[in-house]
Amino acid sequence: MNITANIVCYKSKTLSNGEHPLMIRVCKDGKKKYKSLGVSVNPKFWNFEKNTLKPNSPNYEYLSRIIADKASELSEEIVKLKSERKDFTASTLLEENSQRVKPRTVNDLFCEQIKRLQDEGRRGYMLSVKQVYNSLLMFNKHLDIYFTDIDTSFLRKYETWLRKQELAENTIGIRFRTLRAIYNLAIEQNLVKAESYPFKKYKVSHLQEERVKRSLSKEDIERILTYKSTNNYMRFPIDIFAFTYYCGGINFIDIAHLTQANIIEGRLIYKRHKTGKLIKIPLCQQALELIKKYHCQESPYLFPILSGFHETEIQKANRIHKVITKVNKRLKEIGEELNLPITLTTYVARHS
């Protein structure tokens, strides 16, 4: 049973970009069969005498890995079929091999995760993952690599690169925690073995600076709540701050999505947009008065942040971002006028 299997640069076919496809060539009993490997190479980067990829080839590591992995798969398949004394042809060998699951790259898993989060409507986390994806692309030029390529050396180089971008310590920490979550997902999906996990040695915990506490005293809170202004544009931010404070630190995005259906027997019942956790809190008189002040019967929402016009998740997210930016800008102005010790934002109301 004489059989050979190798990867060749198929000169008989030239693609529109001038490259030749890399093909699996199986020779058995004098018969040859070819199957595309799904990648191509410029002939000047292929050593036809040695039948190998030249080291100066673009994406050398990526292409070399594909070639080595496929050659190893074919070798294992031949040994397996021989040991089982199964008769096979060049064609059936290629068919057997093509049924194997193609190894997924870091790029593949990131793109799959971004799409999944988008389909689930988890836009906030999706944008966070996409941010890390784009950051890694800028750092490494491409992500056609495997998770085994992300080792402690890779992580240290990435950290150094992020620092050169002059990012804040906590921002770098968020990038790495997101990357760690994607790596954990890769382990769950058997794309990489747990023994290769680089975060055992590379600790993300060192990428965290101590935050300045963003809370106010009761006296300062009272000064904000009693702040007087005839300007409606300044009044709305104060009322949103107050509602957040009265409702146990409710997030702005959750306020935006509140409807009459969220009020049940004098309680505010809603699911956190970020976590999906069910929240139940009693509505005090001040909070009820603010709802009565802003709720318009023509709108499905309790506060004039979203409207029936905002139908898609993107429309809603863009509108919320626009409004909270203006609200926080005006709160900052009010805080400066009141000479508060910290910058006034809706976040402060949540933690005071």
By the 10 Å C-beta count (0-12 exposed, 13-18 middle, 19+ buried), 209 is classed as: exposed
Look up the CATH number of the domain holding residue 246. 1.10.443.10
Q: State percent of the chain over pLDDT 70.
A: 90
* Mean pLDDT within 197-218: 79
Report the SS3 class of residue 229. coil
Same domain, 127 and 240: no
Q: Is residue 316 part of a domain?
A: yes
Q: Which of the two residues, 80 and 121, has the higher pLDDT score?
A: 121
In a domain, 43, yes or no: yes
Looking at residue 125, what is its pLDDT?
A: 86
Q: Is residue 213 assigned to a domain?
A: no
168: left (phi over 0), alpha (psi -120 to 50) or beta: beta
66 plus 148 within the same structural domain: no
Same domain, 328 and 297: yes
Show Cβ contacts of residue 113 under 8 Å, excluding neighbours closer than 6 positions: 129, 182, 185
Does one domain contain both 227 and 342?
A: yes
Higher confidence at residue 197 or residue 33?
197
For residues 327 and 346, the answer to whether their CB atoms sit within 8 Å is yes
Co-location of 185 and 74 in the same domain: no
pLDDT score of 99 more than 50? no
The kind and range of the H/E element at 279 are strand 278-282
Q: What is the pLDDT of residue 189?
A: 87
Domain stops at, among 206, 240, 257: 206
> Does the residue 92 lie in any domain?
yes
pLDDT reported for residue 108: 93
Residue 279 domain-assigned (yes or no): yes
Q: Which of 51, 67, 98 is the last residue of a domain?
A: 98
For residues 277 and 343, state if they share a domain.
Answer: yes
The reply to whether 330 and 225 lie within a common domain is: yes
Q: State pLDDT tens for residues 298-319.
A: 899 999 999 888 888 888 888 9
Q: Give per-residue pLDDT as tens, 275-285.
A: 889 999 999 99
What is the number of residues in the chain? 352
Confidence tier at 100 by pLDDT (50, 70, 90): very low
For the ranges 167-181, 198-212, 319-333, the lowest mean pLDDT is seen at: 198-212
The model's pTM: 0.56
pLDDT of residue 270: 95
Would residue 37 count as lying in a domain? Answer: yes
pLDDT tens column, 124-169: 888 899 999 999 999 999 998 889 899 999 999 999 999 999 888 8
Q: Compute the distance between CA of residue 61 and CA of residue 146 in angstroms, rounded to an integer.
A: 10
CA atoms within 13 A on the CB side of 208: 9
Separation of CA 337 from chain center: 39
Which pLDDT tens digit goes with each residue over 236-252? 999 999 999 999 999 99
pLDDT at residue number 104: 81
Instruction: Let me know whether 57 and 114 are in one domain.
Output: no
Rounded to a whole number of angstroms, the distance between the first and last alpha carbons of the chain is 79
The per-residue pLDDT of the chain, averaged, comes to 87
Of the candidate ranges 24-33, 50-59, 102-111, 333-342, the one whose mean pLDDT is the lowest: 24-33
Give the angle 245-216-219 at the CA atoms, nearest 5°.
90
What is the predicted pLDDT for the residue at 101? 42
Assess whether 151 and 37 both reside in one domain.
Answer: no
Residue 144 lies in a domain: yes
Helix, strand, coil in percent for the chain, rounding step 5: 55, 15, 35
User: Whole domain around residue 20: which residue ranges?
Assistant: 3-98
pLDDT value, residue 330 = 94
Last residue of a domain, one of 98, 133, 160: 98
Q: Are residues 240 and 331 in the same domain?
A: yes
Q: How many domains does the chain have?
A: 3
Note whether 147 and 264 are same-domain residues.
no
Q: Rounded to an integer, what distance in angstroms lies between the CA atom of residue 63 and that of residue 253?
A: 45
Q: Are residues 247 and 341 in the same domain?
A: yes
Examine residue 212 and state whether it is found in any structural domain, yes or no.
Answer: no
